[in-house]
């Protein structure tokens, strides 16, 4: 039975993000609690979390050490500005995140979300070339089907057409896009990284030819595109992008907001693929989703160049009231400890082949046109209904929720990313439910 307070809820005042508000308020889906792999719906039903919240709750929900760290921090030091002041927790977290990152990605700028991290990274790229005396390097290159949050910087370099179209009147002016790497004709049902498509990185050479390398500051990509349906990079693609950036002095930014903190069975995608970017954006899993936080990791040379470029005073005119918030820092430290103590990144790696087999068990299900997975991520692409793209996917989402499973849909592609504590039996439950639901949905 729903809790009385929920029955009395007024749904109208809350303008919900990325939600069909009117439809939701006619038939709301509310959760009231969460623990480990499950939410509790308002009617008391357990809902298996197939999406780690929104790609963020990598250690599972309501984990005691994180809850305790947040409570303790709130009682000891609830807030302190990060401007011209510091608190030990934030310095500790920066050091731990830097130690986890590959190469010399060893300086950390804190923000409060992935979107803020992305806009911060773009600003750092501009500041770097200003500091080097190369102010003409001011263009950015994103990729079609890229998602980099919702700041004006993020939607400008992002490649999701409906979002770009909605705000086309005021996007950043000097941005180009690489082609995306999704191609069913070549790669449908590939396992892991598809064999076809490394050459798509060469489009950066075309842009260099067209614009001049001396005008391009940075290229930003998600190592595995997440929000547009889980698109693992073709074999050799990221390596090629890295080489082209190196050849032309262009910074490479990896947006690891989804792929960071164990999703691919390593701390970062950069580690898994052996390709180190110049800047890396993270968020979500850095605090297990428990307190909002984002961050940019910068290679030492970038930090040194910017910080060394002014004789004294503030070096980068950027920062947020809640940059390095003590609660987020405490949550982050407890989260990283939990990841270490439970070996969760290695656990994700050890589950990858079981997960991949489970994903591909849907091969014979009608209207499934592609299956993709890497680490503990998966994309299940359904054929769209003529004239109503997204309708089949949304129906699957609602039906799965009704049957006690949370999935995520982007158009007609189902995206899965369970907490890294998922058990094999729960993987079976996810794909068993999905197979049933997809067979029933016409
Ligand atoms: C790759 C990537 N970058 C940026 C973002 C934006 O993060 P946030 O929603 O925390 O602003 C997301 C969110 O899903 C993301 O997947």
> pLDDT band at 8, cuts 50/70/90?
confident
What value does the mean pLDDT take over residues 44-59? 98
Compute the mean pLDDT over every residue in the chain, rounded to the nearest whole number.
97
In the reported structure, the alpha carbon of residue 120 is separated from the centroid of ligand 1 by a whole-number distance in angstroms of 13
Distances 205 to 101, 141, 194, 209, 212 between C-alpha atoms, Å: 28, 12, 22, 6, 10
Residue 24 has pLDDT above 60, yes or no: yes
Distances 356 to 34, 50, 161, 257, 415 between C-alpha atoms, Å: 26, 14, 30, 22, 13
pTM for this structure? 0.97
* Ligand 1 contacts CB of residue 255 (under 6 A): yes
What value does the mean pLDDT take over residues 384-402? 97
Give pLDDT, residue 5: 63
In the reported structure, the alpha carbon of residue 118 is separated from the centroid of ligand 1 by a whole-number distance in angstroms of 8
Give pLDDT, residue 370: 98
Q: Maximum CA pair distance of the chain?
A: 67
In the reported structure, the alpha carbon of residue 26 is separated from the centroid of ligand 1 by a whole-number distance in angstroms of 28
**pLDDT of 403-416, one tens digit each?**
999 999 999 999 99
- CA nearest 349: which of 239, 427, 272? 272
What value does the mean pLDDT take over residues 124-142? 98
Bridge partners of 381, per DSSP, are 370, 413
Residue 128 has pLDDT above 60, yes or no: yes
Give pLDDT, residue 442: 86
* Ligand 1 contacts CB of residue 231 (under 6 A): no
What value does the mean pLDDT take over residues 53-63? 98
**pLDDT of 317-370, one tens digit each?**
999 999 999 999 999 999 999 999 999 999 999 999 999 999 999 999 999 999
Looking at the CA of residue 151, tell me the nearest atom of ligand 1: 11
Percent of the chain scored above 70 by pLDDT?
A: 98
Residue 23 has pLDDT above 80, yes or no: yes
What value does the mean pLDDT take over residues 70-80? 98
**pLDDT of 104-114, one tens digit each?**
999 999 999 99
Burial of 66 (0-12, 13-18, 19+ CB in 10 A): buried
Looking at the CA of residue 292, tell me the nearest atom of ligand 1: 10
Percent of the chain scored above 90 by pLDDT?
A: 98
Q: Which residues contact 170 (CB under 8 A, 6 or more apart)?
A: 152
In the reported structure, the alpha carbon of residue 209 is separated from the centroid of ligand 1 by a whole-number distance in angstroms of 31
Contact in structure between 30 and 19 (CB atoms under 8 Å): no
What value does the mean pLDDT take over residues 189-199? 98
* Ligand 1 contacts CB of residue 229 (under 6 A): no
Residue with CA nearest ligand 1 atom 8: 114
Residue 208 has pLDDT above 90, yes or no: yes
């Amino acid at each position: 039975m729903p809790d009385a307070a929920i029955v009395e809820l007024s749904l109208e005042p809350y303008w919900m993000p990325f939600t069909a508000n009117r439809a939701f308020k006619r038939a709301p889906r509310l959760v009231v609690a969460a623990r480990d792999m499950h939410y509790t719906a308002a009617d008391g039903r357990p809902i298996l979390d197939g999406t780690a919240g929104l790609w963020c709750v990598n250690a599972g929900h309501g984990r005691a050490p994180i809850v305790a760290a947040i409570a303790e921090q709130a009682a000891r030091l609830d807030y302190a500005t990060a401007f011209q002041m510091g608190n030990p927790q934030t310095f500790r977290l920066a050091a731990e995140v830097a130690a986890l990152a590959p190469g010399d990605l060893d300086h950390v700028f804190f923000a409060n979300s992935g979107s803020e991290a992305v806009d911060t990274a773009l600003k750092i790229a501009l500041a770097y070339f200003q500091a080097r005396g190369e102010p003409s390097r001011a263009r950015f290159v994103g990729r079609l089907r890229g998602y980099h949050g919702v700041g004006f910087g993020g939607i400008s370099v992002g490649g999701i057409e409906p979002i770009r179209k909605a705000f086309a009147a005021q996007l950043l002016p000097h941005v180009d896009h690489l082609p995306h790497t999704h191609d069913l004709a070549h790669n449908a049902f590939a396992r892991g990284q598809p064999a076809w498509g490394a050459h798509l990185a060469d489009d950066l050479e075309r842009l260099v030819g067209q614009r001049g390398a001396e005008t391009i500051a940075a290229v930003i990509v998600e190592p595995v595109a997440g929000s547009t349906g889980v698109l693992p990079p073709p074999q050799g693609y990221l390596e090629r992008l890295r080489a082209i950036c190196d050849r032309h002095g262009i910074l490479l930014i990896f947006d690891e907001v989804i792929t960071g903190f164990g999703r691919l069975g390593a701390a970062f995608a950069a580690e898994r693929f052996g390709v180190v970017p110049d800047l890396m954006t993270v968020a979500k899993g850095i605090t297990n989703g428990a307190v909002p936080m984002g961050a940019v990791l910068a290679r030492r040379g970038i930090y040194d160049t910017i910080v060394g470029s002014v004789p004294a005073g503030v070096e980068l005119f950027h920062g947020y009231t809640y940059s390095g918030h003590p609660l987020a820092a405490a949550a982050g430290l407890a989260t990283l400890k939990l990841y270490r103590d439970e070996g969760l990144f290695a656990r994700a790696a050890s589950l990858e082949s079981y997960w991949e087999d489970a994903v591909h068990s849907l091969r014979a299900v009608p209207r499934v046109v592609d299956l993709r997975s890497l680490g503990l991520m998966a994309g299940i692409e359904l054929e769209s209904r003529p004239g109503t793209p997204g309708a089949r996917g949304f129906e699957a989402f609602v039906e799965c929720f009704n049957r006690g499973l949370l999935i995520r849909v982007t158009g007609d592609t189902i995206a899965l990313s369970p907490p890294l504590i998922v058990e094999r039996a729960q993987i079976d439950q996810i794909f068993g439910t999905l197979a049933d639901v997809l067979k029933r949905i016409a």
